[in-house]
Amino acid sequence: MARNLPEGEGQLKRGRVRQAGIMTPEPALGERVVAVVGVPFDGYGRDGHQARAARSLVAGGLLEAVAAAGSRHLDLPPPDPRRGPVTSLMNEPALLAQTSQLADLVESILSDGAFPLVVGGDCTTLLGTLQGVKRHRGSVGAVVFDGHEDTIPLDVSEDGEAANTEIGILLGVTGRGLGAPLVGSTPTLAPDRLALLGARDDGWRRRFNVGSVAGLGAFSADVSVTSRAPGETAAAAVRFVGSDGWWLHVDVDVLDPVIFPAQGLPGVPDEPGGLTVDQLHIALRAATGSGGCAGMSVAIYDPEQDPDGTCGATVIDLIAGAVRALR
């Protein structure tokens, strides 16, 4: 059972402490304002875990690291671990609310000329964020760093975890019968506007007879390709999706679980291997430095598996490096 930690417990250890009520400096003239959006969602309907990630990262200095003046957090229904009647997915009320709220918020932030930075929850944040970008721009591309391709069809999902399915929903290869607001997510992405980097789940997908997104025409660079040339691979991914109006998404399980253990389910081993932190740093800076990034999301960090805050500090550093490289 998940343990709901008291406010402030397990906060990230960094060189400086954010004091309540103190605003961070305004960005320099000509820089895009970073608007942080926190997502208190856990895909398994648990109290805490990924639902605590956003506030933990903010407490650990995220706003200062990206020069954001504040953060907004979604207001979601209480967690529900049951599979829902509309989608067959776990924590359905919060999932539907999250998708609707993120679509509206991301569209609004982009309309204000700011840079949306969505943190917390799992990869289902893409269902709302990409809707918001598409509403604002008319089309959307995505560069996704993830240890898994997340295209498992809804009808073969073992447990109803939505974060195993969201790329398939966005591409329209599953979920065509979904009700609103998820129906607005399928399809949102064309395969030639998707780049997926760092996956290492071939064996798991074969269990469900699910091929790679490369077979649909998307850009796919697995962990072996991405790790050999992280900067060059990321830049090539941006060129593929089109260097204007694309979204950057990072699932931290793209990292090796040995060096970044605060991911996935406690006690359930993930696929071995993954990128190193340095490789992901290089790749993210190369991606945002290539131009055209409309916004960014980071998911799957679990502060309850990070008692000393080391992994959380790593997440903040990865985000800050990507944001500093924006052009």
pLDDT in tens, 203-253: 667 777 777 888 899 999 999 999 999 999 999 999 999 978 899 999 999
Residue 13 placed within a domain: no
Report whether pLDDT(27) > 60. no
CB-CB contact of 65 with 18 (8 Å): no
Give the C-alpha separation, 109 to 146, whole Å: 25
Flag the least confident range among 36-40, 111-115, 156-160. Answer: 156-160
Task: Point out which residues pair with 71 in neighbouring strands.
Answer: 36
Residue 1 placed within a domain: no
Burial class (CB in 10 A: 0-12, 13-18, 19+), 69: middle
Residue 19 placed within a domain: no
Residue 66 placed within a domain: yes
In the DSSP assignment, the letter for residue 16 is S
CB-CB contact of 208 with 156 (8 Å): yes
CB-CB contact of 212 with 205 (8 Å): yes
Greater confidence (206 vs 301) lies with: 301
Check residue 15 and give its pLDDT: 31
User: What letter represents residue 312's amino acid?
Assistant: G
CATH number of domain containing 176: 3.40.800.10
In the DSSP assignment, the letter for residue 272 is S
Residue 8 placed within a domain: no
Token digits for 149? 């391709």
Give me the helix-helix angle, 310-324 and 277-289, nearest 10°.
20
Those residues with Cβ within 8 angstroms of residue 212's Cβ, 6 or more apart along the chain or in another chain: 149, 199, 202, 205, 220
Burial class (CB in 10 A: 0-12, 13-18, 19+), 12: buried
Check residue 5 and give its pLDDT: 24
Residue 22 placed within a domain: no
Residue 232 placed within a domain: yes
Flag the least confident range among 57-71, 157-171, 184-198. Answer: 157-171
Please give the sequence-ordered ranges of beta strands (E in DSSP) within the chain, or none if there are none.
Answer: 34-38, 71-73, 115-119, 141-145, 194-197, 219-221, 246-251, 293-299
Token digits for 48? 């805490």
Print the domain residue range for 59: 34-324
CB-CB contact of 175 with 169 (8 Å): yes
Residue 15 placed within a domain: no
* Domain tally, the chain: 1
